[in-house]
């Protein structure tokens, strides 16, 4: 009986640990969905990365343009700030 309860607890712990490990992925999936809805893009047409973790801003690259974006804090997650970033060729 102790062996069976130990196996059950092990399975519950494994499933629970897997769910907790994938929690950050849920936020990432919501961000991807918000970008796709706002910019009307497919998943393979853009890349984005964290620009400033303290401010929560991201850089979105699409084609030959880059945008600084921010997401809302509440659900459903949406893009609330968009600013086009212009690249300069000032090399001295």
Per-residue pLDDT at 80: 95
Per-residue pLDDT at 2: 87
Tokens of residue 34, six digits: 């918000």
Q: Is residue 15 part of a domain?
A: no
Q: Is residue 67 part of a domain?
A: yes
Q: Is residue 57 part of a domain?
A: yes
Give the count of beta carbons closer than 10 Å to the beta carbon of residue 15: 10
pLDDT band at 15 (very low <50, low <70, confident <90, very high): confident
How many independent structural domains does the chain possess? 1
Per-residue pLDDT at 92: 57
Rounded CA-CA distance 89/69 in Å is 22
Q: Is residue 3 part of a domain?
A: no
How far lies 60's CA from each of 3, 31, 37, 45, 70, in Å? Answer: 52, 11, 14, 11, 10
For 31-40, what is each residue's pLDDT tens digit? 999 999 999 9
What's the average model confidence in pLDDT over 39-60?
A: 90
Q: Is residue 73 part of a domain?
A: yes
């Amino acid at each position: 009986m102790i062996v069976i309860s130990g196996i059950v607890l092990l399975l519950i712990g494994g499933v629970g640990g897997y769910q907790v490990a994938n929690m950050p992925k849920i936020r990432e999936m919501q961000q991807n969905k918000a970008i796709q809805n706002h910019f009307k893009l497919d998943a393979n047409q853009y890349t984005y990365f964290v620009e400033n973790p303290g401010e929560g801003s991201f850089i979105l690259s699409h084609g030959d343009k880059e945008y600084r974006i921010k997401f809302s804090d509440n659900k459903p997650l949406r893009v609330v700030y968009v600013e086009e970033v212009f690249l300069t060729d000032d090399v001295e």
